[in-house]
Copies of this chain bind each other. A is one copy, B any other.
Amino acid sequence: GIDMKRKSSFSLLDHIKRPMDGADENPDQKEKMEKLWKLMETYEPNDPESIQKSFARHLEYSLACTRFNFTMQDAYRAAGLVLRDRLLESLNDTNAYYRKMDVKRGYYLSAEYLIGRHMQNAIANLDLEQPFKEAFHALGMQLEDLFHEEVDPALGNGGLGRLAACFLDSMATLSLPCWGYGIRYSYGMFKQDIQNGRQVEMPDFWIGDGCPFEIPRPDITYPVRLYGEVQEGLNAQGEWCLNWVGGDIVQAMAYDNPIPGFDTYNTNNLRLWRACPTKEFDLDQYSAANFTDAVEARRKAEDLSAVLYPNDASYEGRELRLRQQYFFVSASLQDLLREFIKRPNYKWSELPEKVAVQMNDTHPTIAVAEFMRLLVDVMHVPWDEAWELTTKCLNYTNHTVMPEALEKWPVEMMTRMLPRHVQIIGELNLRWINGLVAKYGDGPIIAALSIFEEGDVKKIRMGNLAIMGSNKVNGVAALHTEIIKKETFPDFYKYCCDTGAPDKIVNMTNGVTPRRWVHCANPALSAIFTKYLGSHEWLTDMTKLKGMLKFKEDPKLHAEWMEMKKTAKKKLAGFLKETLDLEIDQDALIDIQIKRIHEYKRQFMNCLYVIHRYQQLKKMSPAEREKVQKRVVLIGGKAASAYVNAKLIIKLINNVGKVINNDPDTGKLLKLAFVPNYRVSAAEVLIPASDISEHISTAGTEASGTSNMKFVMNGGLIVGTMDGANIEIREECGEDTMFIFGCLEHEVAGIAAKAKEGHYPIDSRLQAVFQAIRNGEFSKGEPEAHAEFCSLVDKLCNTHGAGTWDGDRYLVVHDFPSFVDAQAKVDATYADKAKWCKLSIQAASSMAKFSTDRTISEYADVIWGVKPAPRPMEM
């Protein structure tokens, strides 16, 4: 095997003395505690024997299994607890070190984390693969079998949540003192089941059996108030102040999820909040109610963190959503401010030197008002100073270019729920508008920049609040950041430029962590890189992969590379057999599109292309068919539960698959399958196996995309539009590595305008596809499905409506011909195995920019001013 030669490895920690950072926190205890400290002075050893002992102990004492009767699920949980012990030591010691060094800290606030399974990742990051393998092998178990027992904690909808998870991995790996904050939903993202081709959403009670990687912290709780009213009063200093009183108080209890870095001894924390009933009582309110009602009311508190809302939440759900957002933001800010004021002789003016907060999308942006409230009302910082601190500490990431997706809350609703915050926002807006009027006079720019949106229902625009309250605002890919400046917030950008701060809006292109997405998901590829480069350093410095380029024509590498793909395809084949009972030809080109199902992502276009390809095959003679490249098209993703068209597209894909896969003429040459319940652990199996993947959103709609990066890092090539991060990936990897098609972002408006004038031709090949659908060739005798499929097609054919909700909003018709051409080019290129292999190596080796290590380093430098603080280890 290859010696990983990591500098920092937990396997080196056996019997190493732990540092005493923090020992003087309670000087009076010191004397009598010395005996205890002695007992805890070394780290848990990590040799296979010690791992086995620790495993056995957890099996019996923590899980209450008998030695003679436990399941693989029990074994997984016990192994998880073995890791938890190690993670906890490291988490505790890392935090003590950060405190000792009095470092500036970054806090990432996100309503979603699509963290994926912990176990394999933790073992890899701690560098304990070898001893764990040995330990369990001797007990007759395979590590992989344990990994499979873990359920994905799915506390996010899609890309935004997965990005947050990759960010955490990079923060820890870079030894940055950064924590994540979020919500511990009892029910995560729904599980997707496919029944007769249609999506059925099933509740995901992921926490059911307990997660061994999380640490409940009953000692860390904060009260969070909702509703109630604001009263005038005097504070402890006898000064006039406003007090928010009454309403309901919910307790936020911390659940910590240690995030170990790779090749470092640092372990950071993802702190998720769970809503619990308070322990304190408002006795007056209380004794009035009857006992069981009072208990009921308290139990309702727990609803707050019960469910992750699918991102289509309807109005009724939305009030709860705002409550969730405020709940986790308030608890997080209270927690980080408590950490700040724990510092001896703290001064408020130092806050921006010690604290940077990142708001991930608009979900946590109530933080602007809450930060002000905590500083002004609770900490008694004067208003102007508080505002300066707020705008120096907070930062905001925009994730969407669609103005209708920026959250806005009815003033009426927020006034009921957060009366003090509406006052604060009103005061902030007043001062802001006064300044603007002084500068620009009264005009449309004032209305555009106001936090309040007038109209039938007066609303608070969280996007505007976020920008106003932030130090930096960023987009997530180059094109996206440009669109933000020019289209989403043009007036803000103008204001920034006019006030000499054009760099308030910056670009931070997204990334992915190579530890999970290459090293863990594709061990064969990781081994190739390490072998050819002579070290594992590429895993923490992806620019090292450039060193692979000199081998890109090396037949030996080609052979190993193709073997690597084969291994991945074999694993995928096993997965498809198990989940779908589908057999695939492992020599086929594997073509994958996995992501949330959305019209803008154009899974529909992909499906139309597959029908077209099927029609072509059907027209051919058997001899002609022989020459066609075999292809397996896999589409997967969840549709928001209320998103009718997205769910229809799933049904169409399934029906088309049924027809094609069972047609003896084509079944061997073309397969189409819908992969159910797409999630992180499925992505880890799918991505390494792809030859091509589809990232085909209409130009200007996908902010960045991150699965595109994962595919290319694994040697897959992209069929894509000039959208999101595709553009930058192409720049890095070379134009020849990407099959680009479709209109450009700046062309979209013109195309729609021309369509309105009647100029929106439908390609004859697409006409034929539409005809087949209308003929019911994929309706399988289901009248309801038939009508639905026709309605999808009818909408595309309303050429006058192209570019709008009434017609082909996402220009499928326009882009279809060039999409067909791009696919033809794929087949042609793939026919030349050596060329394909070269392109694959070239692309995979050019992806340094898309490591979240690069992304996070930029955030740390440009936005947060947070520096690495690697924990030294005295051996």
A interface residue numbers (CB < 8 A to B) = 22-23, 25-26, 29, 31-33, 35-37, 39-40, 52-53, 56, 59-62, 64-69, 71, 73-74, 84-85, 88-89, 91-92, 96, 138-140, 186-187, 190, 193, 195, 200-203, 205, 208-210, 215-219, 256, 276-277, 279, 281, 283, 286-287, 290-292, 294-295, 298-299, 303, 306-307, 309-310, 313, 317, 641-642
**A29 CB to nearest chain B CB (Å):** 8
Q: Quick check: A40 and B22 within 8 Å, CB to CB?
A: no
Known contacts A89-B60, A200-B283: does B277 contact A205 (CB below 8 Å)? yes
Q: Which of A292, A299, A309 has the most CB of B within 10 A?
A: A292
**A65 CB to nearest chain B CB (Å):** 8
Tell me the bound Cα distance from A85 to B32 in angstroms: 25
Q: List 9 A-B contacts (CB under 8 A).
A: A22-B66, A32-B139, A35-B139, A36-B59, A195-B287, A200-B287, A202-B286, A203-B294, A208-B218
Q: Which of A64, A201, A218, A317 has the most CB of B within 10 A?
A: A64
Q: Quick check: A25 and B306 within 8 Å, CB to CB?
A: no
Q: Which residues of B contact A186 (CB under 8 A)?
A: 299
Q: Quick check: A61 and B84 within 8 Å, CB to CB?
A: yes
Q: Quick check: B298 and A205 within 8 Å, CB to CB?
A: yes
Q: Which residues of B contact A31 (CB under 8 A)?
A: 140
Q: Which residues of B contact A138 (CB under 8 A)?
A: 35
Tell me the bound Cα distance from A217 to B67 in angstroms: 15
Q: Quick check: A210 and B218 within 8 Å, CB to CB?
A: yes
Q: Quick check: A256 and B64 within 8 Å, CB to CB?
A: yes
Q: Which residues of B contact A309 (CB under 8 A)?
A: 292
Q: Quick check: A317 and B292 within 8 Å, CB to CB?
A: yes
Across the interface, A203 reaches (CB within 8 A) one of B65, B69, B277, namely B277
Q: Which residues of B contact A61 (CB under 8 A)?
A: 84-85, 88-89
Q: Quick check: A641 and B67 within 8 Å, CB to CB?
A: no
Copies of the protein in its oligomer: 2
Q: Quick check: B68 and A22 within 8 Å, CB to CB?
A: yes
Across the interface, A140 reaches (CB within 8 A) one of B26, B33, B139, namely B33
**A498 CB to nearest chain B CB (Å):** 45
Tell me the bound Cα distance from A199 to B66 in angstroms: 47
Q: Which of A37, A295, A307 has the most CB of B within 10 A?
A: A295
Q: Which residues of B contact A193 (CB under 8 A)?
A: 283
Known contacts A69-B26, A139-B35: does B218 contact A209 (CB below 8 Å)? yes
Across the interface, A96 reaches (CB within 8 A) one of B35, B53, B66, B89, namely B66
Q: Which residues of B contact A298 (CB under 8 A)?
A: 203, 205
Tell me the bound Cα distance from A92 to B63 in angstroms: 12
Across the interface, A25 reaches (CB within 8 A) one of B62, B69, B291, namely B69
Tell me the bound Cα distance from A286 to B195 in angstroms: 12
Q: Quick check: A210 and B200 within 8 Å, CB to CB?
A: no
Tell me the bound Cα distance from A36 to B298 in angstroms: 46
**A204 CB to nearest chain B CB (Å):** 9
Q: Quick check: B52 and A281 within 8 Å, CB to CB?
A: no
Tell me the bound Cα distance from A140 to B29 in angstroms: 9
Q: Which residues of B contact A25 (CB under 8 A)?
A: 68-69
**A859 CB to nearest chain B CB (Å):** 28
Q: Which residues of B contact A279 (CB under 8 A)?
A: 205, 208
Q: Which residues of B contact A307 (CB under 8 A)?
A: 292, 295
Across the interface, A39 reaches (CB within 8 A) one of B52, B74, B210, namely B52
Q: Which residues of B contact A216 (CB under 8 A)?
A: 210
**A195 CB to nearest chain B CB (Å):** 7
Question: Which B residue's beta carbon lies closest to that of A284?
Answer: B195
Q: Quick check: B299 and A306 within 8 Å, CB to CB?
A: yes
Question: Which B residue's beta carbon lies closest to that of A220?
Answer: B64
**A8 CB to nearest chain B CB (Å):** 21
Q: Which residues of B contact A36 (CB under 8 A)?
A: 52, 56, 59, 67, 139
**A85 CB to nearest chain B CB (Å):** 5
Q: Quick check: A60 and B40 within 8 Å, CB to CB?
A: yes
Tell me the bound Cα distance from A166 to B187 in angstroms: 40
Known contacts A276-B208, A299-B306: does B217 contact A64 (CB below 8 Å)? yes
Tell me the bound Cα distance from A96 to B31 in angstroms: 45
**A255 CB to nearest chain B CB (Å):** 10
Tell me the bound Cα distance from A209 to B219 in angstroms: 8
Q: Which residues of B contact A303 (CB under 8 A)?
A: 299
Question: Which B residue's beta carbon lies closest to that of A253?
Answer: B208
Question: Which B residue's beta carbon lies closest to that of A276?
Answer: B208
Q: Which residues of B contact A26 (CB under 8 A)?
A: 68-69
Tell me the bound Cα distance from A216 to B74 in angstroms: 13
Q: Quick check: A286 and B200 within 8 Å, CB to CB?
A: yes
Tell me the bound Cα distance from A235 to B35 in angstroms: 66
Q: Quick check: B68 and A187 within 8 Å, CB to CB?
A: no
Tell me the bound Cα distance from A219 to B52 in angstroms: 22
Tell me the bound Cα distance from A201 to B281 in angstroms: 11
**A186 CB to nearest chain B CB (Å):** 8
Q: Which residues of B contact A53 (CB under 8 A)?
A: 39
Known contacts A67-B37, A641-B290: does B317 contact A306 (CB below 8 Å)? no
Tell me the bound Cα distance from A309 to B203 in angstroms: 30
Q: Which residues of B contact A66 (CB under 8 A)?
A: 22, 92, 96
Across the interface, A56 reaches (CB within 8 A) one of B40, B85, B281, B294, namely B40
Q: A65-B219, A205-B277, A208-B276 are in contact. List 18 more A-B contacts (CB 8 A).
A: A22-B68, A22-B69, A25-B69, A31-B140, A32-B139, A33-B67, A33-B139, A33-B140, A35-B139, A60-B92, A187-B299, A193-B283, A201-B291, A201-B294, A202-B281, A205-B298, A209-B218, A292-B309
Known contacts A210-B216, A216-B210: does B22 contact A203 (CB below 8 Å)? no
Q: Which residues of B contact A68 (CB under 8 A)?
A: 22-23, 25-26, 33, 37, 96
Q: Quick check: B52 and A291 within 8 Å, CB to CB?
A: no
Tell me the bound Cα distance from A96 to B69 in angstroms: 11
Q: Quick check: A64 and B215 within 8 Å, CB to CB?
A: yes
Tell me the bound Cα distance from A379 to B36 in angstroms: 56
Q: Quick check: B195 and A283 within 8 Å, CB to CB?
A: yes
Tell me the bound Cα distance from A283 to B200 in angstroms: 8
**A692 CB to nearest chain B CB (Å):** 33
Tell me the bound Cα distance from A35 to B35 in angstroms: 34
Q: Quick check: B40 and A67 within 8 Å, CB to CB?
A: yes
